[in-house]
Amino acid sequence: MSQQAKSERLMNLVICLLVARGYVPKSRIRSVVGGYGDQTDEAFDRMFERDKDELRDVGIPIEIGSNDPFGEDEPGYRISRHEFELPEIRLEPDEAAVVGLAARAWQHSGLAAAASTAVVKLQAAGVEADTRALGAVEPRVGGEEPAFWPLWEAVRDRRPVRFWHRKVSSATGMQRHLRPWSVLSWHGRWYVLGFDTDREDARMFRLSRIVGDVEPDGEPGSYEVPPPDDVRSAASSLAPSPEHRDLSVATLKVREGSGHTLRRRATDVRPADVPGWDVVTVSYSSQTRLVEEIATHGADVVALEPDELRKRVVEWLTDIVEETP
Amino acid sequence: MTTGQPRQRRADSAPAQVSRLLSMLPYLRSHPYARVADVAALFNVSERQVIRDLRVLWFSGLPGLAMGDYIEVDMESVEGEGIISVSNADYLARPLRLRTDEAVALLVALRTLADVPGSFDREAIDRAITKLEQAAGEVAERAAAVQIQVDGEAVADVAATVRTALDERRRLHLSYWVPARDETTERDVDPMRLVVVDGRLYLEGWCRRAEQVRLFRLDRVAAVSILDAPADLPDQARPRDLSDGLFQPSPDDELVTLELTRGGRWVTDYYPFESAEELPNGGIRLRLWVRDRRWLRRLMLRLGSTGRVVDPADLATEVVDDARAALAAYEVG
């Protein structure tokens, strides 16, 4: 069967169900929509089922029901105009301009294609494209991680998923079972937030640490997503945040013009006895993190106190010198 | 659902064709005598595809397809002058509702724009969001399903100054921290635009020091002021094409091979790399492009015993020399 004949059949099926006053029985559809009439019963059934699925896939709402409140009639099909048609929308030129800008924001995921078909629909509805150069702000949304699209689909369809998620220090990781609530970007990195059914609690997972495929682990629509405000507060309580528990205090000798990250969080900076150097006081909670940070600056930062910190920095640097063959 | 990308329908598949026609018909109704070329551009398909789409209408119409039920398309004018005229399809006057994907894609991007500090046209963005939410109906409620947190308060003052300079087309002076060298650099920049990538703010501008278009992360701007001079953008100052990501390799970059232990694997989460190979001990061998050796030397000092440079050898030596120089201050080694 030719491509054109199939498109004609689908088009005529849409029109038939859209203009009908009530539900159209299958037998009537078969007799009025070209392409069905000359099929055997079995071939027609198969064809009709597939056509309906394909139309629903592109967003055409085909309902099943009966005109007879007692349901004794043959069930029929219809497309409700209210569900089918985009309601009236008029955008002022400045509104159309920001919508145009927003539509260009998506980069990699399937949402880039969705944004452009949305704009086409708006233009078809009479919204004039505003090509005025806004120029001054250019938004970009990535989401190029392979897990982005399947997780977005899962959130959209409220479908549980399972995936392997590795810890920062390992290659393989653990299998997780999640009812995803939201896909979110936090400080430029993408996460999925949801209810972890193994932990029985909300959890957040970094997308770039998902290994392999995201697979369905239940039926669509099988859970409810909490209200947006609850999702947002779960996100902010789970999001990685800078350490606030500052337990110890260290003093460091920092060369002038260096050690900006240390200076930025210093509680005190004063000139050292040696010209060209400052003594910088910082508080910290993880000694290892501070050792790493001091080592990063090489000869520009020297740990003074406490002694334990000084010793650890020396060990850290000695490892580098000695490990090299 | 196991694939990383959405199922892409070919533009010439029957469902794609029907869904395109359901937008094309209302468009043609509000744009009588539209040109084939314009319609092709709007729908991002070839002109031949538009003509094939219109041929489908030739045999479409009201159920039964009696005389007068057919949608009328003047194919002669389509194929001759490239002008489209369609009639007798009044029942297809409006496009399909927005699908969840479509509504969410627009609303999430608009909310991101609205959150940019010192945002332009904030009022227009809010009005557009309200109208889209109304038109999208129920599916708009799913827009919380994707959230982008925009760098906010921390960079609000810098962003406001940059906005003013952009509006007034004035030159900026930046004190900008360069992490690769741990230096705060002073430079004059003629601003071109603010770029918001996954919620992170950058100024794109012509750096008069480097004589190049550069991106400056706003959270690394230590101080900013507006100069009296007007911005003067040379012809070669073109906004960068960001579709391949912010960081594009340059021909001068050097390919470096590292070995990381388990404890050093975090590097793969933070920096783009060329290739990664698992090692039997749970570590990883990583190849990455390096623009500034100073950046990599600092990274290796941070990694300590959790990473080492395998290649090039002279870079490995530089790292050891750095560690020796640092140890000298402790009067050991």
What is the interface pTM, i.e. ipTM, of the complex?
A: 0.81
Q: Any idea which of A65-69, A152-156, B293-297 has the lowest mean pLDDT?
A: A65-69
Q: Is A280 within the bounds of a domain?
A: yes
Closest CA to A136 of B205, B115, B245: B205
Verify whether the Cβ–Cβ distance A114 to B332 is below 8 Å: no
Same domain, A220 and A184: yes
Residues A13-23: what's their mean pLDDT?
92
Which positions in chain B touch A54 (Cβ < 8 Å)?
14-15
How far is B125 from B131, CA to CA, in rounded Å? 10
Residues B228-235: what's their mean pLDDT?
89
Give the tens place of pLDDT for each residue, B199-220: 888 999 999 998 888 899 998 8
Verify whether the Cβ–Cβ distance A16 to B99 is below 8 Å: no
Interface test with B, best of A11, A163, A210, A310 (most B CBs within 10 A): A11
Task: Identify the pLDDT of residue A34.
Answer: 87
Q: Which of A102, A127, A142 is the last residue of a domain?
A: A142
Q: Is A119 within the bounds of a domain?
A: yes
Residue A71 CB-half CA count within 13 A: 2
Same domain, A229 and A194: yes
**Whole-number average pLDDT of chain B:** 87
* Length of chain B measured in residues: 333
Which positions in chain B touch A14 (Cβ < 8 Å)?
18, 22
Per DSSP, what are the bridge partners of residue B195? Answer: A138, B202
Q: Which of A211, A238, A265 is the last residue of a domain?
A: A238
Q: How far is CA B302 from CA A43, A176, B307, B317, in A?
A: 68, 32, 9, 16
Q: Any idea which of A70-79, B43-52, B95-104, B255-264 has the lowest mean pLDDT?
A: A70-79
Q: Does residue B137 sit in helix, strand or coil? A: helix
Verify whether the Cβ–Cβ distance B3 to A99 is below 8 Å: no
Verify whether the Cβ–Cβ distance A296 to B298 is below 8 Å: yes
How many structural domains comprise chain A? 4
Which positions in chain A touch B97 (Cβ < 8 Å)?
59, 83-87
Residues B102-114: what's their mean pLDDT?
90
Q: Please count the other Cβ atoms lying within 10 Å of the Cβ belonging to residue A265.
A: 12
Dihedral pair phi/psi, residue A139, rounded to 5°:
-85, 145
Verify whether the Cβ–Cβ distance A187 to B97 is below 8 Å: no
Same domain, A125 and A168: no
Same domain, A233 and A186: yes
Contact assessment for residue A165 and residue A177, using Cβ atoms and an 8 Å cutoff: no
Same domain, A131 and A159: no
Q: How far is CA B249 from CA A191, B252, B289, in A?
A: 26, 8, 7
Listed as own residue / partner, the contacts of A162-165 with beta carbons closer than 8 Å and 24 or more positions apart are: A162/A214, A162/A215, A162/A217, A163/A210, A163/A211, A163/A212, A163/A213, A163/A214, A163/A215, A164/A210, A164/A211, A164/A212, A165/A205, A165/A206, A165/A209, A165/A210, A165/A211
Give the largest CA-CA distance in chain B. 101
Verify whether the Cβ–Cβ distance B329 to A299 is below 8 Å: yes
Q: Which domain holds residue A117?
A: 92-142
Same domain, A152 and A228: yes
Residue of B nearest to A304 (CA): B330
Which among B6, B30, B98 is the nearest to A149, CB-wise? B6
Residue of B nearest to A79 (CA): B96
Axis-axis angle for helices A93-103, B100-114 (nearest 10) = 110
Which positions in chain A touch B177 (Cβ < 8 Å)?
260
Task: Identify the pLDDT of residue A41.
Answer: 92
Verify whether the Cβ–Cβ distance A84 to B97 is below 8 Å: yes
- Quote the radius of gyration of chain B (alpha carbons, Å): 28
Interface test with B, best of A52, A256, A296, A304 (most B CBs within 10 A): A296
Q: Model's pTM, two decimal places?
A: 0.80
Same domain, A115 and A50: no
**Where do we find the tokens 């490892």?**
A319
Cα A295–Cα A296–Cα A298 angle in degrees, nearest 5: 65
Same domain, A138 and A182: no
- The pLDDT of residue B333 is above 50: no
Which position has the higher pLDDT, A101 or B152? A101
Same domain, A198 and A261: no
Q: Which of A187, A216, A238 is the last residue of a domain?
A: A238
Residue of A nearest to B154 (CA): A187
- How far A71 CA lies from chain B's nearest CA (Å)? 25
Tokens (6 digits) for B150: 């925009």
Verify whether the Cβ–Cβ distance B127 to A95 is below 8 Å: yes
Task: Identify the pLDDT of residue B1.
Answer: 43
- The pLDDT of residue A285 is above 50: yes
How far is B305 from A196, CA to CA, in rounded Å? 35
Q: Is A99 within the bounds of a domain?
A: yes
Residues A264-292: what's their mean pLDDT?
89
Q: Does residue A76 sit in helix, strand or coil? A: strand
Q: Is A129 within the bounds of a domain?
A: yes
Q: Please, what sign has the CA dihedral across residues A217, A219, A223, A225? A: positive
Same domain, A138 and A155: no
Confidence at B4, pLDDT banded by 50, 70, 90: very low
Q: Which helix (H) or strand (E) holds B87?
A: strand B86-87
Which positions in chain B touch A11 (Cβ < 8 Å)?
18, 21, 56-57, 60
Residues A249-259: what's their mean pLDDT?
90
Q: Is A243 within the bounds of a domain?
A: no
CATH of the domain at A61: 1.10.10
Q: Does residue A94 sit in helix, strand or coil? A: helix
Verify whether the Cβ–Cβ distance B322 to A298 is below 8 Å: yes
CATH of the domain at A154: 2.30.30
Same domain, A73 and A123: no
Residues A148-165: what's their mean pLDDT?
92
Closest CA to A258 of A294, A291, A290: A294
- How far A184 CA lies from chain B's nearest CA (Å)? 5
How far is A192 from A181, CA to CA, in rounded Å? 8
How far is B156 from A147, CA to CA, in rounded Å? 32
**Whole-number average pLDDT of chain A:** 87
Q: Please count the other Cβ atoms lying within 10 Å of the Cβ belonging to residue A267.
A: 10
Q: Please count the other Cβ atoms lying within 10 Å of the Cβ belonging to residue A143.
A: 23
Same domain, A171 and A228: yes
Residues B14-38: what's their mean pLDDT?
93
Give the tens place of pLDDT for each residue, A219-247: 999 999 998 888 888 888 887 665 556 67
Q: Is A288 within the bounds of a domain?
A: yes
Axis-axis angle for helices B47-57, A3-19 (nearest 10) = 50
CATH of the domain at A260: 3.30.70
- Quote the radius of gyration of chain A (alpha carbons, Å): 31
Q: Is A226 within the bounds of a domain?
A: yes
Listed as own residue / partner, the contacts of B36-43 with beta carbons closer than 8 Å and 24 or more positions apart are: B36/B78, B36/B82, B36/B83, B36/B84, B37/B82, B39/B84, B42/A120, B42/A123, B43/A120
How far is A257 from A263, CA to CA, in rounded Å? 10
Dihedral pair phi/psi, residue B28, rounded to 5°:
-65, -30
How far is A69 from A59, CA to CA, in rounded Å? 27
Task: Identify the pLDDT of residue B2.
Answer: 42
Q: Any idea which of A158-162, B194-198, B293-297 has the lowest mean pLDDT?
A: B194-198
Give the A window 154-173 contacts with B, CB below 8 Å.
154-156, 159, 168-171
> How do beta strands B83-84 and B146-148 pair?
unpaired
Confidence at B259, pLDDT banded by 50, 70, 90: very high
